[in-house]
Amino acid sequence: MSSESPIATPVRPPVEPGVREFALIAGLEALVRGATLAAYPLLMYRAWNDAQVVSEIYFVVGVLSLLTALGVPLLTQHMQRRWVYTLGVSLYVVSAGFGMLGGKWVTAALMCNTLAAATSFVCFNAYVLDHVSKTDFARLESLRMFYGAPGWVLGPALGVQLLPVWHGTPFLLAGLGAAAILGFIWYLRLGNGRAMSRQRSGASNPLVYLQRFFVQPRLIGGWLFAVIRSCGWWFYFVYLGIFAVQNGLGDEVGGVATSLANMGLIAAPLMYRWVQSTSVRRAMRTAFLCSATCFVLATLVSPLPWATIAILILGSYCLVLLDVCAGLPFLMSVKPSERTEMSAVYSSFRDVSGILSPALAWAVLQFTTVSGVFAAGGCALLLGWAIAGQLHPQLGVPGALRVRNTSQPDSPR
């Protein structure tokens, strides 16, 4: 009888996720969403043949998505966060299945896709707040967009180009990307979140954490910036393609214009360096004002369709600059004990913009053509410029480089 003991099987230690790991997750999600980004408006317009009906559907989907995002913290009280994250990413796979069916099933695909984005975004931001220090937030934002550039740049154009081959091709690519995300987040062994065990009973009740949100002006301001920025992208992605089709430019123009806009993500690290050299306030005001000018000008030159497309693409690069810096005021103000709840509030900017944008577009379309929607987006961006004027002039400036100015009120806003 042998006395030898069995050899113990080594257990792989969990990978400690950091900036690069989360940026990679964001890059994979960019592939998932980018592959269908330009295809959705075209397929929805083909299925319903009415821009107003498409706006109404987007409005309903936005409401459902908002309710989902606000309910995620409550769900995490009954399920581990990694399982909620898994559920959210799995909805991308379900969405791909509906999309491959074609026709009006694309409406169900859009709904699942939006709910997936809402759920996964809440969990993603909660994990970021757990594992990434505040000093690395801006670095993560720029690296996230850099990693996401291939998906956002190649995905929309490729998705539209492959539609004539088979309408389900963009959704097949999205489904494969979602499967890769699932594999990677389980490889990282993301847990339940460091702040979960410290949460008070009832803290994840939406009425409770929304009340805490509304008494913190810095969080409200940061959330508004994200909403307005998202509205600008919403008008660009949804209505540029419809504008091109209505003006006889073809289906491909929307996909190519979306990819060209997303090429700005490649310059995100350079934009991040510029933000570091100035201040968050100055960068945000510059981006809001320039993008607003481009959107309004696009409406004015709408009798020249190609000029309209070119101006909107230029304005989209200003929106990329907002992607780099507009989320920082909110992220820098979140208390550690409120990470999950406030991540849900922050992620709702997509859903709120998905409600406000189609509602505003529907109202504008009662009186004018699709080109008028761009002017409405420009007015919203101009509002963002005005609100950004209330930010502290040295927000985002490293402490060692700050210059105290007694003539300025020392207010966080």
The model's pLDDT over 307-359, given as tens digits with 9 standing for 90+, comes to 999 999 999 999 988 888 877 787 777 776 676 677 667 777 877 888 888 88
Range 389-397 average pLDDT: 68
Neighbours of 166 (CB within 10 A): 12
Which residue's structure tokens are 């409405």?
376
DSSP state of 1: -
Interatomic CA distance for residues 371 and 301, integer angstroms: 9
Mean pLDDT of 242-252: 84
Dist CA 358 CA 242 (whole Å):
13
Q: Kindly give the residue spans of alpha helices, DSSP state H, lying in 76-188.
A: 81-101, 105-131, 137-162, 169-187
Do residues 147 and 181 touch, judged by C-beta distance below 8 A? no
Quick one: how far is CA 397 from the chain centroid?
Answer: 25
Question: Among 10-19, 25-34, 68-77, 193-202, which stretch is predicted with the lowest mean pLDDT?
Answer: 193-202
- Whether 269 contacts 146, CB under 8 Å: yes
Please give the residue that has the higher pLDDT: either 299 or 210. 299
Amino acid at 282: R
Distance of alpha carbon 268 from alpha carbon 264, whole angstroms: 7
Quickly tell me which residue has 């909620």 as its tokens: 84
What residue segments make up the domains of the chain, in order of their start? 19-194+203-397
pLDDT of residue 46: 86
Q: What is the pLDDT of residue 381?
A: 94
| Residue 25 to residue 33: CA distance in whole angstroms | 12
pTM to 2 decimal places: 0.68
pLDDT tens, residue by residue, 113-134:
989 988 988 888 888 877 877 6
Give pLDDT, residue 395: 64
| Burial tier of 67 (Cβ tally within 10 Å: 0-12, 13-18, 19+) | middle
| Joined tokens for residue 375 | 């002017």
Assigned architecture for domain 19-194+203-397 = Up-down Bundle (1.20)
Q: Determine the pLDDT at residue 200.
A: 46
pLDDT at 411 over 50: no
Q: What is the dihedral of CA 260, 262, 265, 267, to 10 degrees?
A: 20
Kindly tell me if the per-residue pLDDT of 301 is higher than 90: yes
Cα dihedral: 323, 329, 332, 337 (round 10): -100
Residue 399: is its pLDDT beyond 70? no
Is the CB of residue 92 less than 8 Å from the CB of residue 178?
A: yes
Measured CA to CA, the distance from residue 93 to residue 177 in angstroms comes to: 9
Which tens digits make up the pLDDT trace of 167-194?
Answer: 889 999 999 999 999 999 888 887 665 5
Residue 140 CB-half CA count within 13 A: 25
Amino acid identity, residue 224? L
